[in-house]
Amino acid sequence: MGNKVHHFKDNKLHIYIRTDKYNGKIKSDNWVGRTYIQGKQKIISSKTKNFKKAKDYLFKWYDDLQFQKKHNIQIHTSSVKDLYQQFLTSKDKSTDIEGLTKKWYKDRWNMIEKCKEFMNLKVETMEAVDVKDTYIKWRFNRAKAQSKVLRGKTLSGDLVAIQGFITWCVEKKIRKDKIINIKKILSRKLRSQRTLRIGLSKEQYTHLQAVSRKRYQNGRTLRIRFERERLHQFIIFMVGTGLRVDECLNLHFEDVELVDRQKSKRIIEQEIRLVDDKRYYLKIYLRKSKTNKEREVKSVSSAYFAYKRLINLYKTTGLGKVGGGKIWNISSFREGLNSLLEEAKLKRIKRGDDVLTIDSKSFRNMFIQFMLDKGVNTTVIAKNCGTSTAMIDKFYFRNSAIESMLDVWLTTGRKEIKRVS
């Protein structure tokens, strides 16, 4: 067919392939339709290289335009950029049917409007896949460029704001229907981009402890040294117990028992052991957890000694109270931990093409991963951590295999991957 222009519908519909180029190459070799209606030019891509399919698609497009003209239905399209301000203006100060305020929509659209490709989409013809290929893709790329992790809750809120705009367009008869699959596409995208539940490697963890130890030893005041060493022991305690952050912060002194296996009168064989050759460990009684069930947790020996050092810190500095209350006596370690991770250059870890953020939740993940590496049974780990073996298999065991494959890829080449996969 070449680049010939084909004329149909009494010479009012023209079908051709565009010849404009980008970096010396033709932008697209899909067939395009062009016509004039109500004094304005209309152009649309058939999105196919097959002439017969393109012809069928463009004939229908042309006939739909004639139908719209005959029945006084709006023909000329508007971009998101042309209409979104009218949409925001239409929202009054009260909440809408979904309980969302004008301010909520405005805050969301302050971010959405930054994606120029999405803002240029035609409202009348945009589909869920267009939202995915423009806004969702842009949002992930923006987060990656800023070394941030884009959370599903954040992106879901943006899509609710976009869906609200589309619903308004339907009510104004600007487009025929809503985009019904928009959140399904989001779900698929997030599943493919799901943040791996990872922590630091053993080498990175050793480095973090060294930096932390130096920080608390060199603190300018007693208070600073105290707070930094308390954080230091918290990290070791978390990695040695696998507790969730809130479970750890809500622990009371009476919930923790120091156990010396050689002195214990209990039958050792009846104890669930995480590491068989360690003499000391903690027995922790959780009153409440994420699952609202009480459970008993056993630690590895590092948590035992971290707990003893914490008690000694409280006694020697006089800045902490032992007994009769919460162990850590702090609502969050976020600020101090972020400062430590930044100084250790471990706040953001690059894995493949992804940059993942390390935080206090990572320490529970490290416990699970370390136990898996030691060959501890997943049933024992799951019971200790208050989760299921399915969750461990899904998020941790699989990731170990993936990382092994990546290591082989980097060190020996692609052909070796089959041996570990």
The C-alpha angle 379, 237, 368, rounded to 5 degrees, equals 25
CB 222 within 8 A of CB 313: no
Strand-pair partners of 257: 283
pLDDT at 284: 93
What's the count of helices (H) and strands (E) in the chain, helices before strands? 18, 11
DSSP one-letter string for 152-196: HHHHHHHHHHHHHHHHHHHHTTSSSS--TTHHHHHHHHHHHTPPP
- Radius of gyration of the chain from its Cα atoms, rounded to whole angstroms: 30
CB 216, CB 225: distance < 8 Å = yes
d(CA 337, CA 329): 16
pLDDT given at position 53 = 93
Distance CA 237, CA 256 (A): 12
Q: State the Cα–Cα distance between residues 44 and 42, nearest whole angstrom.
A: 7
Instruction: Write the CB contacts of 55 (distance below 8 Å, at least 6 apart in sequence).
Output: 6, 8, 15, 31
> Model confidence at 317, in pLDDT bands (50, 70, 90)?
very high
pLDDT for residue 404 is more than 50: no
Question: Are 328 and 301 contacting, i.e. CB atoms less than 8 angstroms apart?
Answer: no
Pairing of strands 256-260, 280-286: antiparallel
Do the beta carbons of residue 384 and residue 364 sit within 8 Å? Answer: no
Pair 243, 364: CB distance under 8 Å: yes
The enclosing H or E element of 351 equals strand 348-351
- Is the pLDDT assigned to residue 308 strictly greater than 80? yes
Report whether pLDDT(266) > 60: no
Angle at the Cα of 363 (from 358 to 366), degrees rounded to 5?
100
What is d(CA 366, CA 108) in angstroms, rounded to the nearest whole number? 35
Q: What is the pLDDT of residues 112-137, one digit of tens each?
A: 999 999 999 988 888 888 888 899 88
Segment 370-390 mean pLDDT: 86
Alpha carbons 25 and 29: distance in angstroms, whole number? 10
Per-residue confidence (pLDDT) for residue 75, from 0 to 100:
63
Greatest mean pLDDT among 164-173, 300-309, 367-376 lies in 300-309
- The C-alpha atoms of residue 58 and residue 32 are separated, in whole angstroms, by 8
* Region 319-347 average pLDDT: 91
- Residue 365: which of 386, 402, 326, 392 has the closest Cα? 392
pLDDT at 146: 78
Per-residue pLDDT averaged across 404-408, rounded? 37
350/386 Cα distance (integer angstroms): 29
Q: Label residue 181 by pLDDT band (50, 70, 90).
A: low
Tens of pLDDT, residues 23-68: 777 778 899 999 988 778 888 889 899 999 999 999 998 998 888 7
Q: How far is CA 300 from CA 56, 208, 236, 238, 363, in A?
A: 69, 19, 10, 10, 14
Q: What's the residue count for the chain?
A: 421
- Predicted pLDDT at 419: 34
CA distance 42 to 65: 10
Q: Are 200 and 362 in contact (CB under 8 A)?
A: yes
Specify the pLDDT at position 412: 36
At residue 143, φ and ψ (nearest 5 deg) are: -65, -40
Which pLDDT band holds residue 191 (cuts at 50, 70, 90)?
very low
Residue with token string 């930096």: 211
pTM of the model: 0.53
CB 401 within 8 A of CB 421: yes
Q: What are the distances in angstroms from CA 331 to CA 225, 263, 359? A: 19, 35, 15
Q: What is the DSSP letter of 268?
A: G
Query: Residue 274's pLDDT is what?
Result: 54
Cβ atoms of 351 and 198 closer than 8 Å: yes
Looking at per-residue pLDDT, the higher value among 13 and 149 belongs to 13
State the pLDDT at residue 336: 94
Instruction: Answer yes or no: is pLDDT of 399 > 80.
Output: no
- Res 276: pLDDT: 45
Could you read off the pLDDT of 68-112 as tens digits, one per residue? Answer: 778 766 666 688 988 888 888 887 644 454 556 778 888 889 999
Q: Which architecture does CATH list for 202-412?
A: Orthogonal Bundle (1.10)
pLDDT at 269: 40
What is the per-residue pLDDT for 242? 92
CA distance 93 to 102: 6
> Which strands make up the sheet holding 256-260, listed edge to edge?
256-260, 280-286, 295-298
Mean pLDDT (the chain, rounded): 80
Percent of the chain whose pLDDT exceeds 90: 34
Q: Rounded mean pLDDT of 195-205?
A: 75
